[in-house]
Chain A
Amino acid sequence: DAGITQSPRHKVTETGTPVTLRCHQTENHRYMYWYRQDPGHGLRLIHYSYGVKDTDKGEVSDGYSVSRSKTEDFLLTLESATSSQTSVYFCAIKGVAANEQFFGPGTRLTVL
């Protein structure tokens, strides 16, 4: 257990509304990641962070922003949700060895 929690675990929202997902870790890891999981695509990286206030884009970053104001929290924001952002979102942290990552339980987001 890498001490990663995500909130909320489930959310239903309407198109055009802002949504913020939270990832919280308890073990002071430097690197944190947001992925989305969609059938037939595996997991795809949205954004990642390599320290407080240090973030970078991933493969599918359009329509998403992130913030990391303290080590333990990494927030993912959909400024104006669209139906194409209906997905399961996973947060991950990088362990100390060889780029291995440990994942949170996920957030299932439905945009109507």
Chain B
Amino acid sequence: AQSVTQLGSHVSVSEGALVLLRCNYSSSVPPYLFWYVQYPNQGLQLLLKYTSAATLVKGINGFEAEFKKSETSFHLTKPSAHMSDAAEYFCAVSLYNQGGKLIFGQGTELSVKP
């Protein structure tokens, strides 16, 4: 069965510092992988996705993620945090031909200190 683990339910960084949010997945076959962001009292917005093309994926708002098959990881990074990045971030996995269902990690809340 697929599963997703996000390491750290809360991450705090200073403005301008590197953001690193960790995501590991378990899957017997190469999956599709996604990062979503949720701002307070809003729905989820797709940040980026991995679909077996390039292993380094660039998304919106300066975020990127690298698919590492050997480590079963899909960590999200941003070189320099901005106050507006404060939000909750979700990693999700999906397999081809399973109705498009997404399996989510538990989420990581990112705080950005001035």
Contact = CB atoms under 8 A, between A and B. Distances in A.
B32 A98 contact: yes
B99 A105 contact: no
Nearest to A94: B100
Interface string A42-56: 111100101000001
| Range class of the A interface residue count | 20 to 34
Interface residues of B, number: 26
Contact of A44 (B6, B45, B104): B104
B19 to A, nearest CB: 19
7 contacts: A40-B106, A43-B92, A94-B100, A97-B51, A98-B51, A103-B36, A106-B43
| 6 interchain residue pairs of minimum CB distance | A42-B104, A98-B51, A99-B94, A103-B43, A94-B100, A103-B44
Interface centre among A48, A58, A101 (most CB of B within 10 A): A101
A58 B101 contact: yes
